[in-house]
Amino acid sequence: MENSLQETAGSFTLCGMKLRSLLALTFCSSIAFGAVPAQAEECPDGICELVFEYTGNAEYFTVPDGAKNVSFEISGAAGGRGGMGGRVTGEFINFPTGFWVFVGGEGVINAEAPGGYNGGGRAGGSRGNEGSGGGASDIRSGTNLNDRIVVAGGGGGGGGYAGAAGGAGGNLVADNGGSGQGSGGGGGRESSGGSAGASNGGSSAQPGGFGIGGTGGSSWNAGGGGGGGGWFGGGGGGADDDSCCADAGGGGGGSSYANTSLVTNINHQAGVQNAAGRVVIRYEVPSIITLFAGTQLSNNEISISMEVEGSFSPNSTHLEVVDTACIVSEPELTGSTYVFQIQGCVDSRFLAALAPEAAALLTDDTSASLQIELDLVGPEFTFDQIISADHDYVFDLIGSEDNSGLSSEDILVAGCDETVLLNQRLSLNDCQEGDIIITLASNVVTDSMGNLGPSEPTVLELSRDTIAPTSQWLEPEITEIDGNFNLVISLRHDDSLVEDAAVEFLADEISCLPITTFSEGEVTFEYIGCAPGSMSWKLAAFSLIDSAGNSGPAIDSVLELTLVALEPTTEPTPATPEPALEVAPREPALQIPSQLAPGLPDEIHSPIEAPEFVDQEIVEEILEFVESEEVIPIEKESPPKAVSTVPTRSKQPVSSPVDSKSAPAASEPEPQELESEATVKKDQGDLLDQSEIASQSAYVAELASGDQKPARPDSVARISPWLAGGAVAAVLAFIVYRKMMVR
């Protein structure tokens, strides 16, 4: 079967071919036409190379679009125990769209062994060590022998027994086979096959033909070698039936060929290929750059990839980088991709472009420049506070980018005794009142590019405040005018009032409404013409809030007053005194807190016992003293209204709205304000007592006159000395009291 094509070629030049050869031709032709097209898979350095090894079948090669410089290296097969195959190299002048490739098979060693695939001649018989001719290798535009473009001839087979070697294939005229007692076959030529070798007994050898080597002669002793296939095949070697001496001749080598109208730069070699034939096709395709991209690998390394199809081999000079601090290495090739490594860049914006030579090879959808925003700085941090019932403070450390390496040793906390860091969440406990400072050290974490951060220490300062705000009602300012009262009520408070907070005002009778004045930390209510009665003011609990979120006061802050108008006093007429002139002690009109009242004796004891009669000189002396004292006129206005702290509530509440904050509980009045108020009330009491003294003095003067005595019942006459003594004692007591008050 491997001999089919050579025998077909021989049918053009020889007659009387055996029927079995024709049958073999039909079978092998079907194999050739069923060949699968081949393509080059890799193109190192831009040169694509496709190697065709012997398969016993023809293969079709399609030239890639745009391929250029298509070249070939074709080697014929060696003959069995014979000469080696020839080689032809060259290039196509005009690039075909494709062509068929036939690779010759090596000759076989055996009696009457068939020739190698693609034209090798059959060996003669019957010693058993005869060699058949090697097949030629060629490329064709079609499948016929006449379609051959380039042919490399195969070597001739060796003669049997102690026979001679076959001739080398190749060159336009191939070598002749070696001779023993049977002569060797002639080598194929440019236009004719090699001649048959003469046999020394036995059957004759056959000459070579177009595309096929001749068959070697046969003998019982030693058969001749087959001729090699080629453009024209070599002739078969002659047989030898003499067991003496050298034996059969070797077959001649097949000639090579090149169609100079289609190929150029032809080079022929003879006898260079051992074993089966081989065909190598090389070509270049137009170089294109299909990828030009870059990426940052780290804070000190950038990678740029350039994918190239074709023979173009880029280097560092083909890459133009704007940042002169960058160091560009020569590229490494992986498959068809060239990778540049760039280090030492300092600009955060990386710019690079292809040099004009390389830019001209870019595909339409690929840019000749690239820009990368480099990450050359580490992460920065902020503290995000989380509300927690289990810790004094909880903060999430929020980084500007993904980072790693943060540990508790990198965070310093002042003001808290317990610090825990878990998954960048910081928990603080046992914190003191006052300033708390959290410091994250610089350059302690890294990002994905290896940058350290933060660039500077990150500091959070806060003030711890857990004390609730308080409120205090100041001492009221009260003025009575014609039985009504003018009031100034002030509430002093910490921090701010919560929204919708209000002071509730209750009174027995709503006879006056306040003018409200706000100042920092104080609210003042001014009332004019309020009727007597009970009043109260209340700031509800938790109406105040501070900047730390503390609410207060814990209980309602309340001020209560009872306003009582004093009845006006009139001067007594000098009428006849009542039988008993015993002066009862008076309750003070205005109650003053005990801590601000003057240090008066609990009671005044008179050292004078009631006399049986009144000494005229004593009476005159008392009158003289009384007259010498300054008399304080009594105003028509009634004295100020009494203030009581009796809790009462009106059925008519009035609320005074206040900004938006809450207030603390009422505190004790200011001592200075209480002292001033007590002085006013004392002076008012003195005026009242002075009025009473004037009345008593008139009565004493009447008693002192001996001429006129009021008519009294007998019982009165009996006790009149005691009454006079009591009057004197009362006057003296008043004088003592007066002196003490003046001091």
DSSP secondary structure letters along 452-506: EE-SS-EEEEEEE--PPP-EEEPPPEEEEETTEEEEEEEEEESSEEEET-EEEEE
CB 426 within 8 A of CB 453: no
Comparing C-alpha atoms, which of 65, 73, 63, 71 is closest to residue 93? 71
Question: What is the band of 178 on the pLDDT scale with cuts at 50, 70, 90?
Answer: very high
Average pLDDT, the chain: 79
DSSP secondary structure letters along 402-432: --B---GGGEEEESEEEEEEETTEEEEEEEP
Q: Which pLDDT score, from 0 to 100, does residue 139 have?
A: 97
Mean pLDDT, residues 399-411 taken together? 93
Q: Which pLDDT score, from 0 to 100, does residue 10 have?
A: 34
* CA dist., res. 105 & res. 57, Å (int): 10
Comparing C-alpha atoms, which of 627, 737, 615 is closest to residue 686? 737
**72 pLDDT higher than 50:** yes
Q: Which pLDDT score, from 0 to 100, does residue 718 have?
A: 56
Q: Report which DSSP code applies to 164.
A: P
What would the pLDDT profile of 544-567 be if each residue is shown by its tens digit? 998 878 899 989 999 999 989 877
CB 250 within 8 A of CB 178: yes
Burial of 189-206, coded b for 16+ CB within 10 Å and e otherwise, reads beebbbbbbbbbbbbbbb
Please count the other Cβ atoms lying within 10 Å of the Cβ belonging to residue 221: 24
Which amino acid appears at position 622 of this protein? I
* CA dist., res. 138 & res. 118, Å (int): 9
Domain ranges (residues) in the chain:
1-285, 287-373, 381-464, 594-637+678-742
Q: Which pLDDT score, from 0 to 100, does residue 117 have?
A: 97
Q: Report which DSSP code applies to 387.
A: -
Mean pLDDT, residues 295-301 taken together? 93
* CA dist., res. 134 & res. 5, Å (int): 13
In Å, what is the CA distance from 3 to each residue of 28, 105, 120, 148, 408?
9, 10, 7, 18, 87
Please count the other Cβ atoms lying within 10 Å of the Cβ belonging to residue 481: 13
* Structural tokens at position 291: 């990828």
Which of 23-27, 234-238, 737-741 tops mean pLDDT?
A: 234-238
* CA dist., res. 10 & res. 233, Å (int): 9
Question: What is the band of 237 on the pLDDT scale with cuts at 50, 70, 90?
Answer: very high
What would the pLDDT profile of 417-454 be if each residue is shown by its tens digit? 999 999 899 999 999 999 999 999 999 999 999 999 99
The region, left, alpha or beta by phi > 0 then psi within -120 to 50, assigned to residue 624 is alpha
* CA dist., res. 230 & res. 226, Å (int): 13
Mean pLDDT, residues 610-614 taken together? 46
Q: In sequence order, what are the residues at sequence separation of 6 or more whose Cβ sits closer than 8 angstroms to the Cβ of residue 464?
A: 392, 415, 431, 432, 433, 434, 435, 436, 548
What would the pLDDT profile of 16-37 be if each residue is shown by its tens digit? 333 333 333 333 333 444 444 4
Q: Report which DSSP code applies to 594.
A: G
* Structural tokens at position 445: 């974490």
**Does the pTM of the predicted model rise above 0.95?**
no
Q: Which pLDDT score, from 0 to 100, does residue 365 have?
A: 84
Q: Which pLDDT score, from 0 to 100, does residue 620 have?
A: 64
Q: In sequence order, what are the residues at sequence separation of 6 or more whose Cβ sits closer than 8 angstroms to the Cβ of residue 569?
A: 634, 688, 691
CB 127 within 8 A of CB 243: no
Mean pLDDT, residues 397-414 taken together? 93
Share of the chain above pLDDT 70, in %: 71
**612 pLDDT higher than 90:** no
Q: In sequence order, what are the residues at sequence separation of 6 or more whose Cβ sits closer than 8 angstroms to the Cβ of residue 15?
A: none
For the domain 287-373, what is the CATH code? 2.60.40
**706 pLDDT higher than 90:** no
> Pairing mode, if any, of strands 515-519 and 484-493?
unpaired
C-alpha distance across the termini of the chain, in Å: 156
* Structural tokens at position 401: 């980018």
Which amino acid appears at position 712 of this protein? R
What would the pLDDT profile of 307-325 be if each residue is shown by its tens digit? 988 778 899 999 999 999 9
Question: What is the band of 4 on the pLDDT scale with cuts at 50, 70, 90?
Answer: very low
Lowest-pLDDT choice from 144-158, 425-439, 676-690: 676-690
* CA dist., res. 147 & res. 149, Å (int): 6
Q: Which pLDDT score, from 0 to 100, does residue 688 have?
A: 42
The region, left, alpha or beta by phi > 0 then psi within -120 to 50, assigned to residue 220 is alpha
Give just the sign of the alpha carbon dihedral 543, 549, 555, 557.
Answer: negative
Mean pLDDT, residues 334-348 taken together? 92
* CA dist., res. 221 & res. 127, Å (int): 6
What would the pLDDT profile of 453-498 be if each residue is shown by its tens digit? 999 999 999 989 888 899 999 999 999 998 899 999 999 998 888 8
CB 473 within 8 A of CB 489: yes
